Amino acid sequence: MASSSADRGRSRLRLVAWALGVAAALACPWVLGEGYHLHLVIMSLIFAIAAASLGLIVGYAGLLSLGHTAFFGLGAYVSALLFLHGGVPLWGGMLAGATVAAAVAFLLGRAILGVRGHRFVIVTVAFAEIMRLVAYNWVDVTRGPQGLPGILAPTLALPGLGAIDFAAKTNFYYLALAVAFACIALLSRIARSPLGWGFLALRENEQLGESIGVGAFRHAMLAFVIGAFFAGIGGALYAHYLNIVSPDVFFFSNTTMLLVMVVMGGLGTIVGPVVGAFVFTALPEYLRVASDYRLVFFGSLLIVAVLFFPRGLVELGERVAAAWRHFAGRR
């Protein structure tokens, strides 16, 4: 009886948390307005897609890819070029950018996924740098360091309701929210499926996984390609939100920040990188008020988090939830 009562209490708590989360997400633009704070939330949603997709590769399959920003950038550039030269709106650009990113990941994976460890890491870093150099030097296509400006947000015509212009920041927020929710839900579904269990077997013990029918190369390839596909979606959304894309999107610093979001959010989860994306997109910006000490403070926070919450912000959330259940139980 006590166990079933505790289960009901946990279910109610989850339901309340979901309801509060949905209400907060829907009310966000009305509370924050159309200023800089809403901009940070939109950027967080975009990076949440990229971080969650990297979380599938690193946290579930155990593949330390340091070239994930290359797939994000490919999605951005493909969508931008299709819009500027063919008038293809974001809807088609997202699909095309994600498909190209996945196809390139497949070709790269065929070449490098037969190796593990430091060689794999080095090749992924090199690939991202090659993509940056291509974007920087292929001036006829990418306009080099000037980038590709003029990438407009889409409009959506609804019968009887007129057209929704996503150039308005509030409208784009709801678009980013819908796309991020769909991507994260799909990634969560994959992570909880037999395929996700295969990724975990690959991460924990490749030889043991092979002995029970988990093909190491096949599962590594699937994780790599799926992660690249969703990174391409995030990149396309990024390009149409900022209205410009440049070689800066391929910088190694973007990969390191994505990796911080994944590791500090919580490895081996999908929700962890999402939380990490919100925290580590906003935190550096809000610390700009103390520009002289911003990096020192940010680095100190990372060290404290690693020491006291080795499983990331997910562990902190679990501790808070446990304390709340204990307090509620005593009442």
Residue 117 included in any domain: yes
Identify the burial level of 122 via C-beta atoms within 10 angstroms of its C-beta, where 0-12 means exposed, 13-18 middle and 19 or more buried.
Answer: middle
pLDDT in tens, 238-247: 999 999 999 9
Radius of gyration of the chain (CA): 21
Q: What is the pLDDT of residue 201?
A: 82
Average pLDDT over residues 179-199: 92
Please list, residue by residue across 168-184, b when 16 or more beta carbons sit within 10 angstroms of its beta carbon and e when fewer do: ebbbbbbbbbebbeebb
Kindly indicate the confidence band of residue 324, based on its pLDDT and cuts at 50, 70 and 90.
low
Tell me, what CATH number does 173's domain have?
1.10.3470
Q: Are strands 244-245 and 162-165 parallel, antiparallel or unpaired?
A: unpaired
Q: How much is the pLDDT for 113?
A: 82
Whether 160 has a pLDDT exceeding 90, the answer reads no
- pLDDT value for 34: 81
CB atoms within 10 A of CB 193: 11
Tokens of 158: 């609804």
Q: 331: pLDDT confidence band, cut at 50, 70 and 90?
A: low
The answer to the question of residue 25 being in a domain is no
In total, how many domains does the chain have?
1
- The residue range of the domain holding 255 is 31-293
- What is the average per-residue pLDDT within 170-174? 92
**53 part of a folded domain:** yes
Give CA–CA dist 44/42, Å, rounded. 5
Distance CA 220, CA 237 (A): 26
Residue 11 lies in a domain: no
Long-range residue pairs from 179-182, CB within 8 A, at least 24 positions apart, any chain: 179/45, 179/49, 179/94, 179/233, 179/237, 180/45, 180/46, 180/48, 180/49
Query: What would the mean pLDDT of 215-235 be, rounded to a whole number?
Result: 91
Are the CB atoms for 48 and 278 separated by under 8 Å? yes
- pLDDT tens, residue by residue, 286-310: 777 666 666 677 677 777 776 776 6
Whether 119 is covered by a domain: the verdict is yes
- In the chain, % helix, strand, coil (3-state, to 5) comes to 80, 5, 15
Q: What is the pLDDT of residue 80?
A: 95
Q: How confident is the model at residue 2 (pLDDT cuts 50, 70, 90)?
A: very low
pLDDT recorded at residue 26: 84
CA 187 to mean position of chain CA atoms? 10
pLDDT value, residue 64 = 87
The confidence score (pLDDT) of residue 36 equals 86
Instruction: Find the helix packing angle between 313-330 and 252-266, rounded to 10°.
Output: 20
Q: Is 17 inside a domain boundary?
A: no
CB burial class (10 A; 0-12, 13-18, 19+) of residue 131? buried
Planar angle of CA 191, 218, 75, nearest 5 degrees? 65
Q: What does the alpha-carbon distance between residue 143 and residue 126 come to, in Å, rounded to a whole number?
A: 22
The proportion of the chain whose per-residue pLDDT surpasses 70, expressed as a percent, equals 83
Q: Is residue 283 part of a domain?
A: yes
In contact, 261 and 280? CB cutoff 8 Å: yes
Is residue 279 in some structural domain?
yes
pTM of the model: 0.88
Q: CA 58 → CA 63, 120, 302, distances in Å?
A: 5, 12, 19
Q: How far is CA 253 from the centre of its chain?
A: 15
pLDDT-based confidence at 189, cuts 50/70/90?
very high
Segment among 30-34, 59-63, 124-128, 276-280 with least mean pLDDT: 30-34
Least confident of 97-106, 113-122, 264-273, 307-316: 307-316
